[in-house]
Amino acid sequence: MKLNVPGRIIRAVSGFYYVQTQDGAVLQCRARGVFKKRDIRPLVGDYVFVEPQGTREGIVTGVKPRDSELIRPPVANVDQVLLVFSLADPPLSFYQVDKMLAMIESYSLRALLGFTKVDLPESARLFETARAVYESMGYETMALNVRNSIGAKRVAELLSGHTTVLAGQSGVGKSTILGALLPDVEAVTGVVGERSRRGRHTTRHVELYPYAGGYVADTPGFSQFDFDAMEPVQLTGLFRDIAAAAEECAFRGCLHEQGTDCAVLRAVSMNRIGQSRYDSYRQLLAELKEAKARRY
């Protein structure tokens, strides 16, 4: 019997860890009891060692150090995040785009931007506006309609060989994209209700799906920004355009809200920083201040 076979956790449900080994087999595993005593919690995405117990089961005996770790949802060793936004139904919110980009920046991960429903007449101009804003900062920005092959080739190139989290609000088309990328996977598509404006989506746990030499993860609950340990002054570093302008700011620890000599405010007035980006920054800053006040 082989001991300490290397593998990767691709799903975790009800205390069981499903580990894909190097030969492609998937073992249903429990973790060693000592993990709980040592406060070690295996996550989906972890590279692990398992001790097979027969042909279908095993025990997770060790967890390798992580290159990255997301808290909500709990997933490890992610390379990049494909953020999916709808240009219509639900309508696009630049604040939500900026908020989620800031979250990805806080994890030091690569962010890819995909915009769906670009085929609607009123959406084309909005997409061009979004592309101009975000490509200027170095973000890969794509129009996506994978069923009609719009953006499908580029997405395949970007996801190849990487572990990519697919994230976005309900109703934007994440499951449709996942289903197009992985036709053998039963992806659940949501229908947006007129009253609730929310998509019905049955994903309840994180799961990695093998794709083009890497993995794709559909993750519920990824739209929550964790304010628990962040100080307001840290927010500047999560906005690429504001951080670049802030290097010229004369005030140490400046929050870029006021002051005639603030380089960020000067950049906004000169249209070097878009108004929508600065508005998003100010709104997030207010939320961080409120969160900090609740901590003390």
Residue 247: Cβ within 10 Å count: 9
Least confident of 31-35, 132-136, 281-285: 31-35
Least confident of 5-9, 17-21, 128-132, 194-198: 194-198
Question: How is residue 190 annotated by DSSP?
Answer: P
Q: What size, in residues, is the chain?
A: 296
Kindly tell me the burial class for residue 27, based on how many C-beta atoms sit within 10 Å of its own C-beta (0-12, 13-18, 19 or more).
buried
Residue 285: Cβ within 10 Å count: 17
- Per-residue pLDDT tens for 57-74? 999 999 999 999 988 778
Alpha carbon 279 to chain centroid distance? 22
pLDDT value of position 282: 96
pLDDT value of position 241: 97
Domain 232-295 homologous superfamily, CATH = Probable gtpase engc; domain 3 (1.10.40.50)
pLDDT value of position 18: 96
Q: What's the CATH number of domain 5-65, 1.10.460.10, 3.90.1150.10, 2.40.50.140, 3.40.50.2000?
A: 2.40.50.140
- Per-residue pLDDT tens for 239-295? 999 999 999 988 888 999 987 789 999 999 999 999 999 999 999 999 999 888 887
Every domain of the chain and the residues it spans = 5-65, 70-218, 232-295
CATH class for the region spanning 70-218: alpha beta
User: Rounded to whole angstroms, what are the CA distances from 24 to 6, 8, 19, 27?
Assistant: 11, 10, 9, 10
- Per-residue pLDDT tens for 198-221? 444 444 578 899 999 999 987 766
pLDDT value of position 9: 96
If you search the block for the tokens 């580029």, which residue do you land on?
Answer: 154
Cβ-based neighbours of 239, under 8 Å, separated by 6 or more = 98, 102, 105, 277, 280, 281
List Cβ<8 Å contacts ≥24 apart for 268-275: 272/241, 272/245, 273/241, 273/242, 273/245, 274/133, 274/241
